[in-house]
Structure 1
Amino acid sequence: MATSKIKKGDTVKVIAGKDKGREGKVTSVKDGKVIIEGINQVTKHTKPNQANPQGGIVQKSAPLDISNVMYVSKGKVSRVGFKVEDGKKVRYAKATGEVID
């Protein structure tokens, strides 16, 4: 798969689905899906285990497709592009022109 334009730690805004319009920080990116803290919450019934000896009902963030989120730069949603600066490939926000990393 090609290089992902969204990475762990980025602030993103949801542009489609039940949480449309909400912003949050990306906690993980895998196989074209992102998990954003506090967004797309689902209820899971868990059996007792070492981490949760009581078991029961747990709220958890479920993955969203990466196409349903946009990067937020200076409070503005933006597409992400790549360019070469000083011989190094960097991501930049197309709306503001700001280099991300």
Structure 2
Amino acid sequence: MFHNSTYHIKKDDKVKILTGKDSGKIGKVLKVIKKKDSALVEKINIVKRHSKSRAKDRPGEIVEIEAPIHLSNIMLMCDKCMKPSRVKMLRLEDGKKKRVCKNCDEIIDK
């Protein structure tokens, strides 16, 4: 378990899936779950959940939802070079940290 204070993936990032049944697909991060070192990616890793009927007028159903995927199995997509890339952290003069693409040295955080 990483439980890192800084993660290379944030909400609304475009990521590429590296392993599993959805490998090679690209999606948008909906949520980062720090306790599990995982993320929910839009329309990726879809699982079916069965819900019981709660009332007589509302029957049970099968619901498809996104399951979390581990952060080690996804990679950030750079907007400039359009490739999955590793990320390095850069501290600016004003003290703020920015994520930088290792392929093209473009700042990812605007």
- TM-score normalised by structure 2 residue count: 0.82
- Runs of 4 or more consecutive aligned structure 1 residues displaced over 3 Å after TM superposition: none
Residue 78 (structure 1) aligned with residue 81 (structure 2): no
Classify 1:48/1:96 alpha carbon distance in 2 versus 1 (closer, same or farther; 3 Å): farther
1:56 alignment partner, one of 52, 57, 61: 61
Q: Secondary structure at the match of 1:59?
A: strand
Equivalent position of 2:71 in the other structure = 66
CA distance in 2, matches of 1:7, 1:100: 11
Kindly tell me the number of residue pairs found equivalent between the two proteins.
Answer: 99
Backbone CA RMSD of aligned residues = 1.6
CA distance in 2, matches of 1:9, 1:97: 21
- How many percent of aligned residue pairs carry the same amino acid? 41
- TM-score normalised by structure 1 residue count: 0.89
Please say which structure displays the higher CA radius of gyration. 2
More strand by share: 1
Q: Structure 1: state its 5+ residue gaps.
A: none
